[in-house]
């Protein structure tokens, strides 16, 4: 047989968890067709001697909805070995969207996902309104890697309810029309739908997100569309306090499983908490019945480190006082931050129960400043600065932000900050590897390179997890759990989505080492360069070679089986 591609002499780690072996891999028409000792009868031969040949990574939780409108390569993920992303998570996105709602949709993304309004304004182009039109648009523009796209419930509700979407539940008649739009989107290629129900996540100027107002009757109807069609998946944010689900919150997952006929459901929240070390294990025990039925919690494999700023204080937006600062001009924000009454409300809010960044902010370190007079404070924690200045830590932090015209960046960690504990739960099969938020919070964090970090840091350097199991965690496990049956393994008949890396050199660093200014309108993003990731193949075509995009765009919109 004549092949399109032969990958020769590599160490195959096939994604199943089985021991590695040396073999050639042949590709024809985008699929793996033969594994073994092959001849040279191929249009292209890649010498993989010294390299590991593994399935491409499946990233189950990204937010590339807006970015795909100007960047179909998604090289920030592809360069680290990812060949399929699932986007549209957390119930927010850019489609469907009527022209009159474009600004509010972008503002919701600014708050919840930290994507610059100016970048989106310059980059989206809005050549679509409905979700099927959006899918058609991004496919026509070209995709470097594969994209599975959830329909975000927030825009779907706003399409029908307009300004009422973040004020009330839908009537039965409105719910039926929303369900009809969802049905149309899934038939056109959508992956399912996503929803956020937690109140700690917020939208434009601190208002509720439209998805938060969907009641049980609505959710049951939308999940029923998946049961009716016999396909689709659901992503839901239901846990208010990370890793501490209530019975009421878990009942929402139960409802989604029942109403969808047992379709795949993933949810966020399996994070290690320094203030409650037993939380993850207790959560997993409590969720046991749901997990057995197909509802899996997600976690990251990295410490949750974020760059906090005060122009968009997303990490503190679960405090009501900080919601007052969102989507304001710089001058309005300065007036708010300078107000003693506001500061007292903010302090009170931080003390009133668990908050996402509630115990971490005093330990956050000064990372970037605008005012040269603040430079001696670089790398010092807020607590240390307060000791130097002799003031209240919160007041000192806000004063420092004002002294820098709010162009102050603090680096802090709010979850997964115990290295030993994190090393334990990245191996736990009860948790889905995900939640790295590619495409979101791009000026605050970069975790889309989790695959190279896993292979370099956790496999080679720390020896916490063996190579075969690490690859399985990132490939066949998400493929099976999200019902992507045609990928995730090196087996004849599967898609030839592959990564080829040097196990001695593969890796990336955290926190990210680069601050780039290459987004539309000069937007800023953080990035960690991969090392040792030599080739990334999608449908048998090399999209990345030695860290550079080749120009090939073989990606496609994909659906679960």
pLDDT of residue 289: 92
% the chain with pLDDT above 70: 99
Give the integer Cα–Cα distance in Å for 25 and 12. Answer: 9
Instruction: Tell me the pLDDT tens digit for each residue of 238-263.
Output: 998 778 899 999 999 999 999 999 99
- Give the mean pLDDT of 159-173: 96
Q: Mean pLDDT of all residues in the chain?
A: 93
Distance (Å) of CA 64 to CA 99, 148, 436, 518: 20, 11, 12, 16
- Residue 173: partners with Cβ closer than 8 Å, 6 or more residues away: none
> pLDDT confidence of 353, banded at 50, 70, 90?
low
Fold for the domain defined by 57-303+416-480+491-524? TIM Barrel (3.20.20)
105-107-109-114 Cα dihedral, nearest 10 degrees: 170
pLDDT of residue 79: 98
What are the residue boundaries of the structural domains of the chain, listed by start? 57-303+416-480+491-524, 307-414
Residue 356 has pLDDT above 70, yes or no: no
Instruction: Tell me the pLDDT tens digit for each residue of 44-89.
Output: 999 999 999 999 999 999 999 999 999 999 999 999 999 999 999 9
pLDDT of residue 179: 98
Residue 302 in tokens: 């990295």
pLDDT of residue 62: 97
Distance of CA 459 to the CA centre of its chain: 22
pLDDT of residue 103: 95
CB 385 within 8 A of CB 396: yes
Q: Say which range, 185-189, 237-241, 331-335, 456-460, has the weakest mean pLDDT.
A: 237-241
352-354-357-361 Cα dihedral, nearest 10 degrees: 60
Backbone angles phi, psi at 134, to 5 degrees: -60, -50
Residue 318 has pLDDT above 80, yes or no: no
Give the integer Cα–Cα distance in Å for 544 and 64. Answer: 19
The DSSP secondary-structure symbol of 79 reads T
Residue 236 has pLDDT above 90, yes or no: yes
CB 207 within 8 A of CB 87: no
% the chain with pLDDT above 90: 77
Cβ neighbours around 176 below 10 Å, total:
12
Residue 376 in tokens: 């001696």
Residue 431 has pLDDT above 90, yes or no: yes
Instruction: Tell me the pLDDT tens digit for each residue of 388-418.
Output: 999 999 999 999 999 999 999 888 876 777 7
- Model confidence, pTM: 0.90
pLDDT of residue 358: 64
Residue 206 in tokens: 């601190």
127/311: higher pLDDT: 127
Residue 363 has pLDDT above 80, yes or no: yes
CB 443 within 8 A of CB 116: yes
Which of helix, strand or coil describes residue 548? strand
CB 508 within 8 A of CB 470: no
- Give the mean pLDDT of 171-191: 98
Residue 43 has pLDDT above 80, yes or no: yes
- Give the mean pLDDT of 114-129: 94
Give the integer Cα–Cα distance in Å for 482 and 62. Answer: 14
- Residue 358: partners with Cβ closer than 8 Å, 6 or more residues away: 319, 350
């Amino acid at each position: 047989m004549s092949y399109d591609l032969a990958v020769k002499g590599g160490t195959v780690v096939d994604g199943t968890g089985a021991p590695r072996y040396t073999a050639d891999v042949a590709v024809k028409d985008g699929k793996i067709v033969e594994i073994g000792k092959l001849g040279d009868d191929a249009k292209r031969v890649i010498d993989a001697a010294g390299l590991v040949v593994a399935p491409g990574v499946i990233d189950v939780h990204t937010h590339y909805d807006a970015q795909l409108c100007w960047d179909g390569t998604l090289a920030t993920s592809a360069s680290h070995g990812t060949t399929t992303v699932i986007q549209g998570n957390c119930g927010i996105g850019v489609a469907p969207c009527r022209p009159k709602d474009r600004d509010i949709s972008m503002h919701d993304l600014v708050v919840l996902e930290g994507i610059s309004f100016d970048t989106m304004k310059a980059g989206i182009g809005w050549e679509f309104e409905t979700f099927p039109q959006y899918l058609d648009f991004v496919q026509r523009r070209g995709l470097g890697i594969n994209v599975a796209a959830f329909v975000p419930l927030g825009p779907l509700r706003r399409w029908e309810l307009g300004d009422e979407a973040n004020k009330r539940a839908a009537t039965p008649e409105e719910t039926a029309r929303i369900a009809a739009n969802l049905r149309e989107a899934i038939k056109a290629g959508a992956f399912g739908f996503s929803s956020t129900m937690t109140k700690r996540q917020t939208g434009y100027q601190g208002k509720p997100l439209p998805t938060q107002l969907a009641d049980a009757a609505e959710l049951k109807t939308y999940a029923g569309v998946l049961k009716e069609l016999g396909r689709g998946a659901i992503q839901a944010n239901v846990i208010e306090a990370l890793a501490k689900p209530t019975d009421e919150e878990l009942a929402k997952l139960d409802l989604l499983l029942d109403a969808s006929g047992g379709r795949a459901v993933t949810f966020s929240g399996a994070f290690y908490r320094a203030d409650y070390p037993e939380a993850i294990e207790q959560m997993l025990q409590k969720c046991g019945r749901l997990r057995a039925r197909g509802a899996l919690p997600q976690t990251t494999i990295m410490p949750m480190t974020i760059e906090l700023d005060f122009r968009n204080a997303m990490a503190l937006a679960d405090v009501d006082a900080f919601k007052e600062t969102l989507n304001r001009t710089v001058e309005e924000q300065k007036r708010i931050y300078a107000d003693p009454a506001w500061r007292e409300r903010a302090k009170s809010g931080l003390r009133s129960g668990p908050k996402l960044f509630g115990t971490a902010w005093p330990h956050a370190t000064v990372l970037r400043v605008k005012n040269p007079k603040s430079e001696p404070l670089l790398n010092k924690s807020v607590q240390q600065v307060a000791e130097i200045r002799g003031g209240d830590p919160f007041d000192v932090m806000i004063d420092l932000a004002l002294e820098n015209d709010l162009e102050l960046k603090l680096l802090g960690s709010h979850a997964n900050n115990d290295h030993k504990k994190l090393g334990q739960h990245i191996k736990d099969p009860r948790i889905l590897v995900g939640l790295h938020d590619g495409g979101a919070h791009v000026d605050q964090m970069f975790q889309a390179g989790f695959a190279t970090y896993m292979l370099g840091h956790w496999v080679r350097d720390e020896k916490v997890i063996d190579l075969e199991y690490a690859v399985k965690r990132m490939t066949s496990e998400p493929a099976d759990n999200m019902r992507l049956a045609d990928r995730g393994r090196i087996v004849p008949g599967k898609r030839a989505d592959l990564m080829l890396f040097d196990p001695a050199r593969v890796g990336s660093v955290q926190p990210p080492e680069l601050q780039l200014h290459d987004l539309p309108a000069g937007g800023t993003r953080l990035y960690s360069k991969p090392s040792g990731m030599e080739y990334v193949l999608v449908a048998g075509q090399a999209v990345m070679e030695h860290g550079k995009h080749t120009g090939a765009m073989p990606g496609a919109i994909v659906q679960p089986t």
